Structure 1
Amino acid sequence: MRLPGQLVSSKGQAASKGATRKLLIVDDHPMMREGLVQLIGHEPGLAVCGEAGSCQDALEAVRKLKPDLVLADISLPDKSGLELIKDIQAVYPDLAVLVISMHEESLHAERVLRAGGRGYIMKQEGGKKILEAIHRVLDGHIYLSEGLSVRILEGLSGRPSAAGQSPVERFSDREFEVFQLIGEGKGTRAIAERLHLSIKTVETHRTKIKIKLEIEDAAELARYAVLWVETQKAG
């Protein structure tokens, strides 16, 4: 966890108290954090108050620094970003979390909102879009891409999306986490330890996943999950 000693405004001067909105960056890739620090550091009214590379460090930084916004990746080494959002909301329900991730928005954004997050933006977006998302969330709004916003509204109105829904999208948040870990080559015991669940509970999730995917055996599930994870990385 990195705690900068001084907030720096876009002109390089110490930000006066109350004039700057404080952001905490949570990402396990130092280069990504550095890029966001540079981007935010040149935006008037914004400053990075700290950085964290894990959920544990992020929660400690939130407690110490009291940021106005947490900008977090969804893939972290100790817990998922979804779990981080839930942990933050349990203690700091008014603290906004904006997820910035390389993973496909259509599969993750709605889960982020259900967990209590205030928005989702892809890392592939340009700096202007990222800053727009930050300001929108800080102003009390939810930020999603236009395409996903339309899709969610269609779902609320009862109109089916033209693209349909993949089996993976029908997973519960916990099933989705288990599925991802299967795709990363982790066995039942390792998944149980990672998610702090019993082996029996993980097995139950695996069974539900197979039913939703219409898959009969564990080997086929593993192949499907690995292929899906690799496809996400490539995309």
Structure 2
Amino acid sequence: MKTIPNQKQLDHAGCQQRLLIVDDHPIFRRGIAMLIEHEPDFVICGEAETAAQAMQLAERLAPDLVITDISLKDVNGIELVKSLKAMYPHLPVLVLSMHDESLYAERALRAGARGYLMKQAPPDQVVTAIRQVLRGELHLSSTANFLMLNAFASGQRDKNTSSIEQLSDRELEIFELLGQGRGTSMIAHDLHVSVKTIEAHRAHIKTKLGLSTAPQLVRAAVEWVTQREAGRRTT
């Protein structure tokens, strides 16, 4: 769906930069559209709710920037970042997500994103992030910057990091949701996949983390999420 620019945008059409929004929640896409409407040098050229749609629109619309969530209706948003990077190496991507930046920011950057921001960020920070990424700069929140620089400087990670790092991006997403108290059916609904798919991911997670039973998996997930949240409160 292409957003029709208003008169203020048309007056600045010569210098507008085109943004493609990828998110499976129409309300959020509308919120970004309303934010962009107040910026005369930006226009939303298209919207997608799946990675497949995003790849098609990226080819057809040639946007200047893609803004994507982590959770999409088909594949993980980080996988979309990897696909976009492979097909369009010079197309910048900004990840704007509800998922904890301390978990996903580094993974997103490794995949090729130029910035990571959480959805609860103030509107002016979102606009700042868009501008920075379009200028070729990286954008992370001060919290994410601190966590990544501190980990780099100290050479240390959480005691469970070595095993957690074995998880794929989708497995980490599911592990986090388990730790937040979500059941298999609820996770399947939220991620728009089948219960069998989530069960298969749970089995892989157990194997990688050396866990034998479902209760052990849930307990490990809850403990891990609790530790991460406690760590964030002390930063």
The answer to whether TM tops 0.5 is: yes
Alignment correspondent of 1:172: 166
State the SS of the aligned residue for 1:13. helix
* 1:13 maps onto 2:10 in alignment: yes
Task: Tell me what 1:30 maps to.
Answer: 26
State the Cα RMSD in Å: 3.4
Quote how far apart the aligned CAs of 1:157 are.
3.0
Name the counterpart of 2:44. 48
Q: 1:226 to 1:191 in 2, by over 3 A?
A: farther
Shift of 1:225: 4.3
2:213 is aligned to 217
Gaps of 5+ in 1: none
Alignment match, 2:75: 79
- 1:110 equivalent in alignment to 2:106: yes
Q: Is 1:49–1:67's contact at 8 Å kept on the other side of the alignment? A: yes
Cα distance in 2 for residues equivalent to 1:100 and 1:138:
15
Q: TM-score, normalised by structure 1?
A: 0.77
Contact 2:12 2:40 in 1 (8 A): no
DSSP 3-state at the match of 2:74: coil
Structure 2 SS opposite 1:23: strand
Q: Which residue of the partner structure matches residue 143 of structure 1?
A: 139
Q: Secondary structure at the match of 2:184?
A: coil
What does the per-residue CA deviation read over 1:51-82, in whole Å, with 9 as the maximum and x for residues that have no partner? 11111111111111111111111111111111
- Map Cα deviations across residues 13-63 of structure 1 (whole Å, 9 max, x no partner): 25434x111101111111111110010111131111111111111111111
CA contact (8 A) 1:8 1:15 kept: no
Instruction: Please name the residue that 1:57 is paired with.
Output: 53
Task: Give the structure 2 partner of residue 155 of structure 1.
Answer: 151
Cα offset for 1:91?
0.6
- Superposition deviation, residue 204 in structure 1: 4.8
- The aligned counterpart of 2:233 is none
More helix by share: 2
1:97 deviates by: 0.8
- Change in 2 beyond 3 A, CA 1:181/1:154: closer
Change (3 A) 1:205 1:148: same
| Identity, % of aligned positions | 38
Aligned in 2, Cα 1:173/1:129: closer, same or farther, shift over 3 Å? farther
Are the counterparts in 2 of residues 168 and 176 from structure 1 also a CA contact under 8 Å? no
C-alpha distance 135-179 of structure 1, shift in aligned 2 (>3 A): same
**Aligned mates of 2:110, 2:36 — CA distance in 1:** 27
TM-score normalized with structure 2 length: 0.77
The number of aligned residues is 218
Asked if 1:91 corresponds to 2:84, the answer is no
Are 1:101 and 2:97 counterparts?
yes
Amino acid at match of 2:184: G
Relative to 1, partners in 2 of residues 1:140 and 1:172: Cα closer, same or farther, differing over 3 Å? farther
Distance apart, 1:150 and its partner CA: 2.5
Amino acid in the other structure paired with 2:160? P
Post-superposition Cα deviations, 1:137-182, rounded to whole Å, max 9, x if no partner, equal 111011001122132223333454xxx6263683335142453576
- CA offsets 1:66-124 (integer angstroms, 9 cap, x no match): 11111111111111111111111111111111011111110111111111111111111
Cα distance, 1:36–1:221 mapped onto 2, change above 3 Å: same
